[in-house]
Amino acid sequence: KTDIRTKIKESLTSIKKGGNVMHLNLENVSHYAFRYGINIDENNKDLQKGKTLANGIMNKLWDKDPKDRKRDILHLQKKFISWSEYSKQLKRMEDIDFDKIHNRMQECRKEQFDMVQNMTSVMKEFIDISLNSQLSNQTKMYFLQWMKIYLDIESKKHLPDQENKYHKMWNSITCKVGTDVNELRKLESTLDDLSFGLEHILREIGQVYEAIKELKRERKFEVLADNLSIFAADLLLDGYPLEIMDGDASHVPLTWINAVFDKLKERLGDKKIYVISVLGIQSSGKSTLLNTMFGLNFSVSAGRCTKGVFAQLISVEEKIYGEYGYEYILVLDTEGLRAMELANLQYKRDNELASFIIGIGAVTIVNIKGENNSDIGEVLQICVHAFLRMRLANNNIDLQPGCYFVHQNVPDVIAKSKMLYSYKKHKDQLDDIATAVAEHENVRGINHFSDVIEFDVNKQIWYFPNLWIGDPPMAPANPGYSETVLKLKTDILKYPEKYSSLTFTKLQERMTDLWKAILNENFVFSFKNSLEVRSYALLEEKILNVNKNFYHDVKSKTHNYINTINSCEKDFSCLKQNILAEIEEHINECYLRFKSELNDYFSTAENKSTINQWEAFATQKLEEIVSYLRYNESNKISTAVDLREANYKNLKKLEKYKDDIEIFVKDLVANKVCSSTQDGTSSLENMSAIQRTELDDMFNKEWDDFLNRLDFVQIKDKKNIRKEVWKFLKEQYRAHIAILEIYQNTKEHNKDKLPDQKTNDNNKAMSSIKTSAEKVESTDNEYCDDDGYVMTSGIRENLRNEETVRIDDTDFEIEPLQRELYDIKVKNEDTEGISGEPDYVNY
């Protein structure tokens, strides 16, 4: 053996030194197989045809710079990223100019449709081949597979060099060498441009569909869109993953996804389906676990290889269907949480993703590498909080998914006994959090974590050995890993015994309701865990109390100054300067006092380590109210002094006018009236009718002459406030002009009617609004009602309910439509009783 080994080594060494080494791969030696009669796939005609078609498209790509390929070919995706950002703003009310945001969304869709009409040659050829009815399904499958192989080869060819540059630059920044951070951002963008795979082309097809369907153009485009959804449904049936959540936009294209599932129902019927999802930290082995469990082909590698959420459909055997009641399994693979490259997005993206995945799945595999489950525990806390808030907002969101905890690279021999106590403590902590969240959100019946997410600490924790025996790449696979996966799979497949399986239709409804609820929820997802949520709520309460006390302290001082001003009768200019200086000094004193109170809170609070991150925010809010009070109170003092001075002068003028009128009357009686009577007295009884008429004319003339000599300004005509308000509303809310006019006409018509008559006419107005509001081709069906009318649910609700608000002991009717458009919140909590001033309790 030693002699043979030595000779082999010597031979290999001589070949290597000689330099006559021919590097071969399997594809290069495939012709030898044909020579020796070995049948291989490369000899298949469908494969050769598919490969030729793929080469035709790749030749167009190879002519382009690798950094520009994605940008030059996939035009619609950038617009979808902008569209999704506007959609979130609109749902979460991050911008009050709804018409502006809505118009921008429409512009994005119109630009996308223009791109569809002028589609790039690569996309046009890809779609033509995919929809070509003359090509066999086998040829299309080989074509797609070759496209995937070629695109992956291109990415792997160019990515390593850029990744090395990125890591070197990152290290230089970490070492504070002085590298520009902007250069790092450019490299991140380059890495994203070089990552170009088949999933990006299929994502572009989804945007082609959405742009056509939402704008509803010519019939030929409608036919194209329908064919694209059929193509995607066929891919899903053939085992290709369907992207459920866009990894770049972090958005679910509901129109496209629902269309694909509609075509699935046409192909298969409304079958029962069992949804299994996986969730875990980046590079924890999620895709590897699913591939091993179900024989799938999700992308696997170190780092963030899965981006977004991908679904694969698996049909089950009749035995499983008869025993468990479902005919298909939908497996969802997700991108890793806490990714370093997404650190700038903080926790929002991870929390939204986790809530969506856990909410959709009947069971979620929570994959953990090692023994530490702290990061996943924090995400689960946010999911519990989010589910409860979404349940309050929408009765349809009544989810109770289950979860399995899987620890990778942990031998089961001693782990179970050692970690059971730790998990029970963790379960108790999750129970406490669920109870606290339910109490905070006023949700009844929640006493344990399992009341929200089903979890049995004794049965649903699994420990997996390492996938490899030794160190890759030469290490063999560990049979113990596969055996444990099989046991877990068997247990998971039995899980739906507790619950009725979903149908495709129910799954679509759940996805739609859940994603819309996630879009509407913006508060909870911004935090790391429930402790942060509660800490922030307590801090916010403290800030509001400080601001309220600050506000009322200064307002009380201003009120006293105004009383002083109202009793002043001289030196108004000097008085104004003195009071303004004193009020400024008082505001500064209050600022220092309340700033000290906030500092004490941050230094002594039990959760100070958590709330320290918001100290600058609290100071900013205090400074904002200082700026407001300085401006508002100085204006109020100045106005009060000017008004008092004007009133004082008017009082003096009034006294003078009284004296002048008295003199005028005496002179008029003595000189005019007495001389006009027959006996020289002022008695009107002795006057004739003609004399009385002449006396009236004379008095009116003398009175007008007297008024013209007085120094005062006559009051102009009063403004019609209602008319001004409606004019403003019409200008601001042109999209709802039909609703505004109908409602205004109804109110005018009802003003002199009895209450019962008003109610009947209001009901008629509601019906009229429903039928008269203009139907629009909306950019997003979420903003239309079931019949396509532009009318938010808030307008519909408020038009049904007359409401009043009490201000200074007077009931004022708030126009329901104005209430919706303005979101009026008026509280009579001002200690001065001065109406119209802001309530800084809500600052």
Using the predicted structure, report yes or no on whether residue 149 has a pLDDT greater than 60. Answer: yes
**pLDDT (0 to 100) of residue 231:** 94
Place 175 in a pLDDT band, splitting at 50, 70 and 90. Answer: low
Q: Which of 46-55, 166-175, 597-606, 762-771 has the lowest mean pLDDT?
A: 762-771
**pLDDT (0 to 100) of residue 523:** 60
The whole-angstrom separation of Cα 508 and Cα 271 is: 12
Residue 569 three-state SS: coil
Please give the backbone phi and psi of residue 280, each rounded to the nearest 5 degrees, phi first. Answer: 180, 170
| Higher-pLDDT residue of 114, 813 | 114
Length of the chain: 843
Pull the structure tokens for residue 338: 């806490």
Mean pLDDT, the chain, rounded, equals 75
Q: Which of 374, 389, 385 is nearest to 351 (CA)?
A: 385
Residue 39 three-state SS: coil
**pLDDT (0 to 100) of residue 769:** 43
| Higher-pLDDT residue of 498, 43 | 43
**pLDDT (0 to 100) of residue 770:** 44
Summarised one tens digit per residue, pLDDT across range 366-397 is 888 877 767 677 777 777 777 777 776 666 66
Contact present, 831 and 555 (Cβ < 8 Å): yes
Q: Burial of 491 by CB count in 10 Å (0-12 exposed, 13-18 middle, 19+ buried)? A: middle
Pull the structure tokens for residue 585: 């000094």
Using the predicted structure, report yes or no on whether residue 554 has a pLDDT greater than 70. Answer: yes
Distances (CA, A) of 641 to 56, 379, 835: 84, 58, 19
Task: Please name the fold of domain 270-520.
Answer: Rossmann fold (3.40.50)
Place 139 in a pLDDT band, splitting at 50, 70 and 90. Answer: very high
| Higher-pLDDT residue of 639, 23 | 639
Using the predicted structure, report yes or no on whether residue 766 has a pLDDT greater than 60. Answer: no
Contact present, 244 and 290 (Cβ < 8 Å): no
Summarised one tens digit per residue, pLDDT across range 285-343 is 788 888 889 888 777 554 445 678 899 999 988 877 777 788 899 999 988 776 655 54
How many other C-beta atoms lie within 10 A of the C-beta of residue 362? 25
H helical segments located in 306-411: 318-324, 348-360, 374-393
Tell me the whole-structure pTM to 2 decimals: 0.67
Q: Which of 101-110, 306-315, 613-622 has the lowest mean pLDDT?
A: 613-622
Number of H-type helices and E-type strands within the chain = 30, 10
The whole-angstrom separation of Cα 843 and Cα 836 is: 15
**pLDDT (0 to 100) of residue 674:** 62
Kind and range of the H or E run holding 511: helix 504-520
Q: Which of 241-245, 436-440, 524-528, 730-734 has the lowest mean pLDDT?
A: 524-528
Place 737 in a pLDDT band, splitting at 50, 70 and 90. Answer: low
Averaged over 741-751, what is the pLDDT?
Answer: 55
Place 430 in a pLDDT band, splitting at 50, 70 and 90. Answer: confident
Place 344 in a pLDDT band, splitting at 50, 70 and 90. Answer: very low
Using the predicted structure, report yes or no on whether residue 558 has a pLDDT greater than 80. Answer: yes
| Higher-pLDDT residue of 282, 581 | 581
Using the predicted structure, report yes or no on whether residue 761 has a pLDDT greater than 70. Answer: no
Place 467 in a pLDDT band, splitting at 50, 70 and 90. Answer: confident
Q: Which of 415, 304, 407, 310 is nearest to 357 (CA)?
A: 310
**pLDDT (0 to 100) of residue 835:** 33
**pLDDT (0 to 100) of residue 771:** 45
* Side chain identity at residue 353, one-letter code: L
Using the predicted structure, report yes or no on whether residue 70 has a pLDDT greater than 70. Answer: yes
How large a percentage of the chain has pLDDT more than 90? 11
The whole-angstrom separation of Cα 533 and Cα 433 is: 11
Domain ranges of the chain: 2-40, 270-520, 533-709, 721-842
